[in-house]
């Protein structure tokens, strides 16, 4: 019989790797099935014991308030004669509730472990370690994809169902960029590799990785980052990891030498792929700004701003079925869909996600928990930066991974304080 924490680790592994189970002709994401299994188990235990302590951290309360504000801006669309409402609108607004349920389930699992052994901290260590162990697998899949080993390009294209395999492979021929298992989006792979590499730096000693294991993990993660061809991901990794290394005074000759050597080896092996990426972004012509960023600025962002001007009060609506383009910027997208009020609220929410862990970190004395809080700040910074050129917080699976790791220090603190709360209630 599986323990609940073991099932959650399986869920997380499937969340990263994303295999598909086919029932008849219906593709079902297997991690969804495992999620439903954990949720059903939690509900049955609650019905039997009625002892589940529902924990709703502050950042999720703020998030829920943001969703309600989105709903308010949406209601004003009904006063427009040409607006066509759709049930999909409500799904888009309240889809993030699944993340809140997922955080509750993680907290529930840790509570059950605390009741059994009074030692739940190992769950946090194992979850971090599991993600680092999955990083080499993602790197290997990226290599297979780049060189079409075992027909992996066609397999990954079919894996996402609606993808036109022939068109996608033709695109890949002219734009060779790995996406591994993450939504066939190279930038998603770049973001995942970037924050996972930062995680490697932050928790290398805590999870007790050996030198050889650490080198394999770091090399694989850097490989995945480079093969993604994501300049956004590479920039995020350099910036955010530098913040950590300076904060914790980890900048030294050994670290600089090790990172430089690994980068040199990867660059040497995949020189042709890196050269094609530089040419694609026109950086080989002496440009400082990548061409993809210029294209977003001149096309998608310009169109989004024009559309926003027409409906700047409450936006054009959540589903925005009239759009024939992507804003390629999550902040602009929120302004476009939910107007000035919703856009500003989202902007302040993202800033809150970055600063709140730093505030909580000051109040904590545990060295491990302080690192958890600092990593929450770092991963929020990663997603905030990635949202400038995409929709990182909306990227399925990536967003779920974000909320899991972002919530870890808050769950840890809550469980530490639970006995104190119960004692105070008895007095």
The structure tokens listed for 265 are: 């080896």
Helix (H, G, I), strand (E, B) or coil at 182: coil
User: Per residue in 372-423, pLDDT tens?
Assistant: 999 999 999 999 999 988 888 888 789 999 999 999 999 988 887 765 444 4
Closest by Cα among 34, 191, 53 to 102:
34
Using a 10 angstrom Cβ sphere, with 0-12 exposed, 13-18 middle and 19 or more buried, the burial of residue 177 is buried
Helix (H, G, I), strand (E, B) or coil at 97: helix
CA distance 134 to 118: 28
pLDDT given for residue 420 in this prediction: 47
Contacts of residue 394, defined as CB under 8 A and 6 or more positions apart, other chains included, come to: 330
Element containing residue 28 per DSSP (H, E): strand 26-29
CA distance 383 to 126: 23
User: At residue 335, does pLDDT exceed 80?
Assistant: yes
Which pLDDT band holds residue 146 (cuts at 50, 70, 90)?
A: confident
Residue 223 near residue 143 (C-beta atoms within 8 A)? yes
CA distance 166 to 253: 48
Phi, psi for 223 (deg, rounded to 5): -65, -45
User: Which of 119-133, 268-282, 348-362, 407-421 shows the highest mean pLDDT?
Assistant: 348-362
DSSP per position, 327-344: -S-HHHHHHHHHHHHHHH
Residue 11 near residue 34 (C-beta atoms within 8 A)? yes
pLDDT given for residue 32 in this prediction: 83
Map tokens 């004395």 to a residue. Answer: 365
Contacts of residue 186, defined as CB under 8 A and 6 or more positions apart, other chains included, come to: 177, 178, 179, 228, 229, 230
DSSP per position, 50-95: --------HHHHHHHHHHHHHHHHHHGGGGSTT----HHHHHHHHT
Contacts of residue 268, defined as CB under 8 A and 6 or more positions apart, other chains included, come to: none
Closest by Cα among 170, 188, 171 to 179:
188
Where exactly are the structural domains of the chain? 4-426
The structure tokens listed for 155 are: 């397999």
Which pLDDT band holds residue 3 (cuts at 50, 70, 90)?
A: low
User: At residue 269, does pLDDT exceed 80?
Assistant: no
Mean per-residue pLDDT, 275-304: 60
CA distance 229 to 34: 32
CA distance 84 to 77: 9
Cα(first)–Cα(last) distance of the chain, in Å?
39
Q: DSSP alpha helices (H): ranges in 160-252?
A: 165-174, 186-203, 211-227, 231-247
CA distance 241 to 28: 36
User: At residue 283, does pLDDT exceed 70?
Assistant: no
Give the residue with greater pLDDT, 198 vs 109: 198
User: At residue 302, does pLDDT exceed 60?
Assistant: yes
pTM of the model: 0.86
Using a 10 angstrom Cβ sphere, with 0-12 exposed, 13-18 middle and 19 or more buried, the burial of residue 109 is buried
pLDDT given for residue 372 in this prediction: 93
Element containing residue 108 per DSSP (H, E): helix 97-117
The structure tokens listed for 35 are: 């999620």
Using a 10 angstrom Cβ sphere, with 0-12 exposed, 13-18 middle and 19 or more buried, the burial of residue 154 is middle
CA distance 129 to 127: 5
pLDDT given for residue 421 in this prediction: 40
Closest by Cα among 426, 395, 417, 401 to 134:
401
pLDDT given for residue 400 in this prediction: 93
CA distance 93 to 85: 13
Residue 326 near residue 376 (C-beta atoms within 8 A)? no
């Amino acid at each position: 019989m599986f323990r609940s924490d073991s099932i959650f680790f399986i869920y997380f592994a499937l969340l990263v790797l994303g295999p598909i189970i086919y029932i008849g002709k219906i593709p079902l994401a297997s991690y969804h099935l495992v999620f439903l299994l954990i949720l059903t188990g939690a509900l049955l235990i609650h019905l039997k014991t009625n002892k589940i302590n529902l924990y709703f951290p502050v950042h999720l309360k703020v998030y829920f308030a943001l969703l309600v504000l989105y709903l308010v801006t949406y209601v004003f669309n009904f006063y427009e004669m040409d607006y066509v409402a759709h049930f999909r609108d409500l799904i888009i607004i309240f889809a993030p509730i699944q993340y809140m349920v997922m955080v509750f389930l993680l907290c529930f699992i840790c509570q059950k472990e605390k009741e059994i052994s009074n030692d739940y901290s190992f769950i946090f260590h194992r979850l971090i370690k599991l993600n680092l162990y999955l990083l080499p697998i993602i790197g290997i899949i990226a290599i297979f994809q780049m060189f079409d080993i075992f027909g992996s390009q066609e397999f990954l294209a079919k894996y996402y169902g609606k993808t036109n395999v022939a068109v996608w492979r033709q695109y890949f021929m002219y734009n060779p960029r790995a996406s591994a298992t993450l939504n066939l989006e190279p930038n998603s792979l770049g973001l995942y590799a970037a924050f996972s590499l930062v995680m490697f730096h932050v928790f290398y000693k805590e999870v007790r990785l050996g030198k050889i294991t650490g080198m394999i993990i770091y090399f694989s993660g850097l490989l995945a980052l480079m093969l993604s061809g994501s300049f956004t991901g590479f920039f995020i990794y350099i910036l955010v990891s530098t913040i950590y290394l300076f904060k914790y005074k980890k900048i030294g000759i050994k670290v600089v030498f090790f990172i430089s050597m690994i980068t040199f080896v990867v660059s040497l092996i995949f020189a042709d792929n890196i050269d094609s990426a530089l040419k694609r972004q026109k950086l080989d012509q002496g440009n400082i700004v990548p061409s993809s960023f210029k294209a977003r600025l001149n096309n998608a962002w310009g169109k989004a701003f024009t559309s926003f001007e027409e409906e700047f009060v409450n936006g054009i609506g959540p589903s925005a079925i009239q759009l024939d383009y992507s804003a390629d910027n999550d902040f602009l997208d929120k302004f476009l869909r939910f107007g000035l009020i919703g856009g500003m609220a989202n902007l302040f929410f993202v800033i809150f996600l970055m600063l709140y862990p730093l505030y909580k970190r000051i109040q904590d004395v545990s060295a491990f928990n302080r690192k958890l809080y600092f990593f929450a700040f770092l991963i929020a910074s990663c997603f905030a930066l990635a949202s400038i050129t995409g929709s990182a917080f909306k990227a399925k699976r990536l967003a779920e991974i974000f909320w899991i790791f972002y919530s870890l220090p808050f769950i840890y603190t809550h469980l530490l304080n639970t006995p104190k709360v119960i004692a105070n209630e008895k007095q």
